[in-house]
Structure 1
C-alpha cells in the first residue's frame, strides 16, 4: 500500500468512526444553514472533546433514552410528590449504572464533569440530587474528616445511606461564621449533644433533606465542657432511620415545599433537641476533642481553621460554574434552531425569511453562543485546576505553592460562579423572548431552564457577596506590591499581568477600524487596562474611606458598588477571555477551524467589554466617538459573520432530541410539525373541562354578592 493510499484509508476509517459517534443529522429546514457553515461540525466536536469523551457522553445519553424510568412526562402531569419520587429513583439508577468507575476517574477526571453535564441537560433536579449525595456529602467527609469516616463514603456508594450538606440556617446564610446550631461535648458519655437554640437556628434549604436524606454533614459551633466555643465544625449526623425513613429521636425534620425551580429536589429544614451523636462523628481534620474534653487543632489561627473547614465550598462553586454553562448551552441551542426555522416578514410580500437573518436577532443571540463556547472552555480548565489542588490535598502537600493555588482557585471560583450563573440567567431570558410566544410554552423548556438556573445565583454564596472574596484577593496583591514584599505571580498565572500595572495604565485604545478589532487581542489588552484601572480606583476608594475615619468594615462596605464589584467581574471576564484567546490561537487548532473559533473569541471579548464602556471612557482609555463606534460595529459584523455558522456551532454542543426535550429545537428543524404533535399529546388537551357543568348551568344570577358594611 502506497503512503497516499494508506492516508486515504486512514481518513476513510476516521470518517466511519465519526459517523458512528456522531451520526448525520436529519435533512430538513435546518439543512440550509448547515450547508452554509464554514466548517464541519463533527470535526469541531472531535477537536474540542476527543473521541473518548464523545463516546462516553453517547453511552450516558443512550442509556437514559432506552431506560423506561427516564421516559419524558408532559409538563404539569406530575405532582410534587411524584416528581420527587421519580428524581430519587433516577438518582439511584444513575448510581447503579456506575458510568464512571474510580479507576476511570483517576485516569480521566474530566469525565466527571461530562457526567454532570449530561445529567444536567436531562434534568437539573436529577443532577443536583445526585451531586449532593454522591459528591458534596462525600467530598465534605473526605476533605474535612479522617480515616475513621471512610465508612460513610462506602455506605453512600453501596446505597445504604443517602446524604446532604447542612450549613445554612434560617437567620444566617452567607455569614457562616455566625451560625447558631451548637454541638457540646459530653466527656463522660464521649458524645456531642446537638441543639438548635430556636427556630432561627434551624438548618434550612438543605437539598435532599426534606424527604430522603438519612445522614447530613452538619455545621455547628463546637463547645467543650469548659464552656469555650471553638467555632464552626462539621459533624456527620444521622437524621433518619435508613430502614423506615422515620426521623431519629431529637430530630425535627421537614420539607420546604414548592420552589421556583428544581422541584425534583426536596429542600428541607431540621432542628435538633439534645440529639446525641458519637464523638467520632466530628470531622476532625481541622480540629478534634480529646476524650478528656480538651480541644486540639493544628491551626493556631482560628481564622485559618474556619477557612479550612469551609474549603469544600470551592468544589461546589466550580461545579456550579459548569452547571451555569450547561444551562446557557441548552437555552441558546433552542433559540438558534428556532430562529433558523421560524420565518417572519421579508423583503417582499411573497417571501418570508428566517428571523436569524435579522440583525436584531443576531445581536440578541449570537454573543450568548460565543459566551457558551468561551465559558465552557474556562469551566473545563478551572475544573482541572481544582483537580490539581485536590490531589495536593490528598497527598497532604504543605508547600507555599499549594497554599497559593488554593487562594487563587478560591478567588476564581468566587467570581466564575456569578459570571456563569448570571450569563446563563440573562441568556435564558433573552432566548425565551427571542422565541416569542412559543418560547413561553412550558413544553419548549426555556422557562424550566431559566427557573432551574435561578438558584445558581444564590446557593454556595450569593453572587454579589462572593465577588467581594475575589476583589479582596486582588487588593491583597496591591497591598503587597506597595510594601515591595513579593512580585505579583500566582500558580495559574491569572494575576501575573498585574506586575506590569503601571505600564498597562499608560495604554490607550489604538484600533482604528473594524478589521483591527476582529483580533481578540484588542479586547484582551483593553481588559488588562480595565482590571488595573478598577484595581487602582478600588484601592484609592478604600484608602480614602479610611482617611475619612471609616472602620475597615465601613470602608469595604462603601467601596463595593462601581469599584470592588466591577473589579471582580472585569477580572473574571478577563481570565475567561485570556484562556480562550490562548486556546483559539494555539497552533494545534486545525486551519479549517481557526476562523470560526477566533471569531467566537473576538465576539465574546468585545461583547463583554462593551458593558464597561462608561469606565473605559471615564478612565481615559477611550476618547472621542471612534472607539465606541468601532466596538459596536465590530460586534455587529462578527454576529453577521457567525450567523451562517450558528446552527453548526449549536450542533456541536447540543444534546440529542430526547435529552434537549424541546419541540421547537429538534434536529430535523420541523418546527411546526413537532410543535403540533407535542400539543396534541398533552393530557386531556381535546377534552372539555371537568367543571363544564358550572359553565353550562341554567340558573339565573339573582341579586348581588357584593359584601355590605
Structure 2
C-alpha cells in the first residue's frame, strides 16, 4: 500500500469513527446542555475569586494565546528534558518582554505580581518557578537584604542582564536552615570572604535555574571571623562568566538529574573550593563586616536576626497556597467537563446518561469543587494580607499570624490538590492516564509543593506553636490576643447546641461554634498531654511525642477556621449558588470530624449529613460547568484535550494521536521480534 493510499484509508477510518461517535452521543451538545443550565454571573465570579487585578491574569493568558509558537505544552509535544528546559527559558524571556510588569508596579501594588504568577502557574509550573527563582528569590533577596552598594546587581536582575538563583538548600539540610554547613570565612588581608563546601552534605543541592542557566547566585553560608561563628548570612557569588558562560574557577556546577516532574527547571548542585568574593558582596542590611573584620548588626539577638533575614522568604510559601487551590480547580475543570460529556449506562432501552448525573460522581467531583472554591478564597485572602503588609515584612510581631497561616495552608492545599488530581484522573478512566490530558503531569508538577519552602509536616509545628502561644498569652499572662483569627479564644465558652432539624446543620453560627470548639479543645488536650510527657522527658522529646499524635490536627483545625472566617468576611448575599457552595463545604467539615463531635455529646446525625451532602451536590451539579467556564483558564493554558471548553474532545484526541511522532512508525529493531 502506498503512502497516499494509507493516508486516504486513515482519513476514511477517522470520518467513520467521527460519524459513529456522533450517532452515539454528541459531546459538544452534551457539554452545551450543562452550560445552559448555569445561572451564574461569570464576571462576578472572576472578580470574586481572582480579585481586583483579574485583568493581569487575562493579559498573561492573551500573551500565551497570541504566541503559540513560543508557548507550547511539553506533554502535548513529547519534549525531551533538554527541550523542556530550553522552551521554559524561552517562555520566561518572552513573558518578561511582553508582560510589562515593572518593579515600580510591584511597589505600588504587589498583588499584580501575585495575580500574574498564579496565572503563569496554570500555564506551566516550570516556567512559573523559573520566573520565580530569578525574580522572587534572587532579585527580591537583593532588594530585601542588600543595601545601596548592591543596586547594580538588582538592576541587572530586573533586565535579565544577570540571571540568578538562590543557594540555600544543601544535600544534608533543608528545613533546618540554621545548621547549613557552607562556610564564608572573612580574610582581613584581602578583604574577601572565602566560600567553601567543607563536606559532601554541604553541597548546595536542588538549586533551581543553576544547572544550565544562572550566572549569579545568592549563597547562604555560616559566617566566620577570626574563628568565631556569626550565623547564617547571604553573599552574592558569580558562578559563570557571562562572556562565555563558563563556570568560574573553584566552583563545580552539576545537574541534579531527572525528576518526577518540573523537568523544565534545571535544578543543579554547587560545590565551592576556596572561592573568594569581595567584602561588598555580603548582603548587609541587618549585619555587616567592616574591612578590619569587626561584625556589626542592628539586631543583637542572633535568633531575631536570623528570623528577620529569612522573613522575606514567607512570600514563596504564601503563594504556594494559591498554587495548590488553583491546581485543584484546573484538575476539576478537566474532570467535570469530561463527566458532563462522558455517557455510560442507563435504563434498558434508554439512552446512556452523562456520568455527572450519578450521585457517586457528584460526591467525587462536585463536593471537591465546593471545597476548592472555599480554599481559593482563603488563598486569595492570605496573599492579599501578605501583599498589603510588605512594609512590615521584617517586623516579627506583624508577621507572626501570616507565618502561622502560611505554614499550614501551603501543605493543606497541596495535599488536597494531590487528592483532587487523582480523583479526576480516575474519573477519566484510562483516558486520564494519557499524557495529553495533563492530569498525570499536573500531579507530578505540583506534588513538590508539599516539600519546598518548608516540609509541610514540619511547618505545621510553627502553626501549633503560634496557636498555643496565643492561648497561653491570654490565660497565663492576661494579655489580649492581637490576631483576628484567634481572637475568639478570649471569650470562647462551652454552650449547649442541638442538631434537631436540617437547618441546624446549615446554620453558619453552629458551624462557627463547632470549629472554635474543636480548635480550643484540641489545644487544651495537647497542652495537657505535653505537660504529662514533661514529667518523664525533656522538652524536645515531650514536644515530639505530643505533636506526633495531636499536633497536626490542631494546625488543620486552625486552617479550617481561617477558611470559614474568610468566606464569612465576603458577606455574600442573594447568591444561592455561592450559598450552596459554602453549605457543601461546611457539611464536609462535619462529615470529616463526626466521631469527634459525637464523642463530645453533640447529637450530630451521620445520616443527615450525608443526605444533605447529596442534596446540595446534586443542586450544584447544574451550575458546575458555568462555574468552570468562568474560573478555568482558556484551553491554550489548561493544556488538556479532554478538558477542552468546546466539548469536541474525542475528535481532538484522535487527531492528536494520528499526528503523533511515532504513531504509525515501524520499530527499528523489528528483526529481533521474529529472529530467535
Q: What is the TM-score with the length of structure 2 in the denominator? A: 0.92
Cα shift at 1:39: 2.3
Runs (4+) of structure 1 exceeding 6 A deviation are none
Aligned match for 1:622, one of 602, 608, 627: 602
> Could you tell me whether the CA contact under 8 Å between 2:60 and 2:99 is conserved in 1?
no
CA distance in structure 2 between the aligned counterparts of 1:573 and 1:681, rounded to whole angstroms: 47
Q: Give the alignment of 1:629-640 within 5 angstroms.
A: 629-640=607-618
Q: Distance in 1 between matches of 2:496 and 2:440?
A: 43
- The separation in 2 between residues aligned to 1:48 and 1:164, in whole angstroms, is 32
Q: Verify: 1:255 aligned to 2:255, yes or no.
A: yes
Q: CA RMSD in A?
A: 1.9
1:498 has 2:489 as partner: yes
Secondary structure at the counterpart of residue 494 of structure 1:
helix
Aligned with residue 480 of structure 1, among 457, 465, 473: 473
- Match of 2:29, SS state, is coil
Matched, 1:37 2:38: yes
In 1, Cα distance between the equivalents of 2:80 and 2:54?
A: 35
Q: Secondary structure at the match of 1:566?
A: helix
Query: Displacement, 1:300?
Result: 1.9
Contact 2:74 2:84 in 1 (8 A): no
Q: How does 1:360-509 map to 2 (within 5 A)?
A: 360-393=360-393, 402-490=395-483, 493-501=484-492, 503=493, 506-509=494-497
Superposed displacement of residue 434, structure 1 = 1.6
1:392-440 per-position Cα deviation (integer Å, ceiling 9, x unaligned): 34xx8xxxxx542211111111111111111111111111112111111
SS of equivalent residue, structure 1 residue 495: helix
For structure 2, list consecutive stretches of 5 or more residues without a partner in the other structure: 1-26
* Whole-angstrom distance in 2 between the partners of 1:281 and 1:522: 57
For residues 346 and 521 of structure 1, the distance between their equivalents in structure 2, rounded to whole angstroms, comes to 42
2:560 alignment partner in structure 1? 573
* Equivalent pair of 1:507/1:529 in contact (CA under 8 Å): no
Out of 600, 606, 609, the position equivalent to 2:587 is: 606
Structure 1 equivalent of residue 13 of structure 2:
none
Matched, 1:296 2:296: yes
Aligned residue pair count: 649
Distance 1:277 1:608 in 2: 54
Q: Offset at 1:64?
A: 1.3
| Cα deviation, residue 72, structure 1 | 4.0
Question: In the TM superposition, what is the alpha-carbon distance from 1:188 to its structure 2 partner?
Answer: 1.3
Deviation, 1:622, is 2.5
Separation of aligned partners in 2, 1:78 and 1:39: 39
- Give the deviation of 1:56 after TM superposition: 2.9
CA distance in 2, matches of 1:304, 1:403: 8
**Paired residues of 1:344 and 1:352 also in contact (CA < 8 A):** yes
- Please give the alpha-carbon distance, in whole angstroms, between the structure 2 residues aligned to 1:349 and 1:550: 71
The alpha-carbon distance between structure 1 residues 116 and 410, as it changes in their structure 2 partners (threshold 3 A), is: same
Name the structure 2 match of 1:340: 340
Who is 2:627 aligned against? 649
Q: Tell me the CA shift for residue 557 of structure 1.
A: 0.4
| Distance verdict in 2 for CA 1:430–1:507, change over 3 Å | farther
Contact 1:514 1:633 in 2 (8 A): no
CA distance in 2 between partners of 1:368 and 1:508 (Å): 31
Q: Secondary structure at the match of 2:662?
A: coil
Shift of 1:230: 0.9
> Please, what TM-score do these two structures have when normalized by structure 1?
0.88
1:558 alignment partner in structure 2: 545
1:527–1:609 Cα contact (<8 Å) kept:
no
SS of residue in 2 equivalent to 1:411: helix
Indicate the residue corresponding to 1:189 in structure 2: 190
Structure 2 counterpart of 1:232:
232
- Asked if 1:665 corresponds to 2:636, the answer is no
Offset of residue 553 of structure 1: 0.5
Alpha-carbon separation, structure 2, partners of 1:309 and 1:347? 66
Helix, strand or coil for the counterpart of 2:436?
Answer: helix
Partner Cα distance (2:48, 2:273) in 1: 57
The 8 Å contact of residues 450 and 456 in structure 2, kept in 1 or not, is answered as: yes
SS in 2 for 1:30: helix
1:306 CA drift (Å): 1.4
Contact 1:209 1:269 in 2 (8 A): yes
Measure, in 2, the Cα distance between the counterparts of 1:528 and 1:73. Answer: 46
Offset, 1:244? 1.8
CA contact (8 A) 1:520 1:598 kept: no
Q: How far apart are residue 382 of structure 1 and its match?
A: 1.0
